[in-house]
Amino acid sequence: MGVGAFSRPGKHIEKGEIMGAYVGEVQKRSNELTSRSAYVYDLVGTNKGSKAVQVVVDGQTHGNWTRFCNHHCNPNVVVTPEQVGKIVLLVFSAAKRISGGSQIFINYGRDYFTDSNMLCVCSTNRVAHLPPVDSNGDSDVDMDDSPLVGRATKRSRIPR
Ligand SMILES: [Zn+2]
């Protein structure tokens, strides 16, 4: 777990409110990348021409506060990929009402833990655990007018 990100003290966030977007370099998928950066999202989807899109968004050098969000199996923020022209944004929005000063949690997805051979220690369970099987990190997106339909999940940093 990293330093974490928190909502502003004294200011709550309403459910559905867009809080920001994960910003990073879009690169071709590469296993090598995971050994250098701890801030990588896998983005898998299809574009308007139904071509498969498999890229990573690396926030190591260009990232903002969203890259510091920790995992929770019952997160208060959902991450949704949105495409605006050639730019891909991983939009962070509140999954529930968030009180001021609360830690912001996202769901890294089960693969993040299995790939890195780690267990989650969040408050949903008294013992270390894996996120639920149906936990894919982020909801599948079906955007009628968007050229990109897909799913973004945080990539594990595979130790070498
Ligand atoms: Zn957990």
The model scores a pTM over 0.85: no
Of residues 10 and 136, more confidence is placed in 10
Give me the percent of the chain exceeding a pLDDT of 90: 32
Q: Is the dihedral of CA 114, 38, 58, 135 positive or negative?
A: positive
- Please report the pLDDT score of residue 101 as a whole number: 96
Pairwise CA distance, residues 104 & 88, whole Å: 22
Gap from CA of 147 to ligand 1 centroid (Å): 33
> Under CATH, domain 5-154 is a member of which superfamily?
SET domain (2.170.270.10)
- Please report the pLDDT score of residue 19 as a whole number: 94
Residues lying with their CB under 5 A of ligand 1, a single-atom ion: 73, 120, 122, 124
Nearest one of 141, 81, 134, 75 to 108, comparing CA atoms = 75
Gap from CA of 92 to ligand 1 centroid (Å): 19
Q: Is the dihedral of CA 123, 74, 60, 52 positive or negative?
A: positive
pLDDT (mean) for 85-97: 83
